[in-house]
Amino acid sequence: MDVTCLGHSCFRIKGKEVTLITDPYSEALGYDWPGPAANIVTVSHGHQGHEGSSRVDGGPKVLRRPGEYEIREVFITGLPSFHDGEHGAVRGKNVIFLIRMEEVTFCHLGDLGHLPSSRQVEEMSETDVLFVPVGGVSTTDVGMASQIVRMLNPSLVIPMHYGTEVVTWLEPVDKFLKEMGLREILPQPRLSVTKSNLPAATQVSLLAYPGQPLEPLAG
């Protein structure tokens, strides 16, 4: 499967038969939208930076709620969570999506705003690839994000929802890279993921967002 970043918390996971897109953003966010098509779209919550599903071509099935789904041999579980540490009183609810596709389990945390409960950690325990928000302000910050990584111990960690020249109100990704012990990392245009090529120990992969130069970033 090929994984590419479309900006912010939006990723495209393209398998042999099925393409899935997470948290497509509305035009107001500001990134250049590449006009992708998909079979499935997951939406963690209804904010403009995460709910632009009408922009995705291909007539996809759109998932917005907790529950268990099976679509074209892709198994998806939506876990209820919150956008803040006050049980949703400040920013509302959030849905974590576990996506089992071609023997690999992806976990997209959406705009999670708190540490997961012990039950949630158990439900996410088989995560191979973790998409984790690291920009703070309206979601988990660097310290909380790194703690979640240690809780889940995934093979691959892909940071998302951080400050860029487009999204200027969030913390930049370099703080998370430093927290994870990385001195330098090269953003990649795409990531090829299979069950057989997952690393034995947790690794961080940085996927380039639209328009980002493919130059090394210091942690």
Residue 29 to residue 185: CA distance in whole angstroms: 26
Task: Establish if 156 belongs to a structural domain.
Answer: yes
**158 vs 51, residue with greater confidence:** 158
Q: Cβ(158)–Cβ(185) under 8 Å?
A: no
Task: Establish if 216 belongs to a structural domain.
Answer: no
For the chain, the average pLDDT equals 91
Task: Establish if 72 belongs to a structural domain.
Answer: yes
Task: Establish if 158 belongs to a structural domain.
Answer: yes
DSSP bridge pairs for 78: 67, 97
Predicted pLDDT at 217: 75
Predicted pLDDT at 16: 94
If you average pLDDT over residues 132-141, what whole number do you get? Answer: 88
CATH number of the CATH domain containing 154? 3.60.15.10
Residues belonging to the chain: 219
Question: What is the residue range of 63's domain?
Answer: 2-211
Best CA proximity match to 212, nearest among 176, 174, 166: 166
DSSP bridge pairs for 86: none
Residues 6 or more apart whose CB falls under 8 angstroms from that of 190 comprise 2, 3, 4, 207
Confidence of residue 27 (pLDDT cuts 50, 70, 90): confident
17-26, 61-70, 84-93, 162-171, range with the lowest pLDDT: 84-93
Residue 89 has pLDDT above 70, yes or no: no
Task: Establish if 149 belongs to a structural domain.
Answer: yes
Task: Establish if 218 belongs to a structural domain.
Answer: no
How many CB atoms lie under 10 A from the CB of residue 43? 22
Predicted pLDDT at 184: 81
What is the 3-state secondary structure of 186-202? CCECCEECCHHHCCCCC
Task: Establish if 138 belongs to a structural domain.
Answer: yes
Q: How many structural domains is the chain composed of? A: 1
In the chain, the amino acid numbered 49 is: G
If you average pLDDT over residues 25-36, what whole number do you get? Answer: 85
pTM: 0.94
How many CB atoms lie under 10 A from the CB of residue 106? 26
**Tens of pLDDT, residues 185-206:** 899 999 999 999 999 999 999 9
Output the CA torsion sign for 201, 3, 165, 95. Answer: negative
Residue 37 to residue 58: CA distance in whole angstroms: 5
Predicted pLDDT at 84: 63
Task: Establish if 217 belongs to a structural domain.
Answer: no
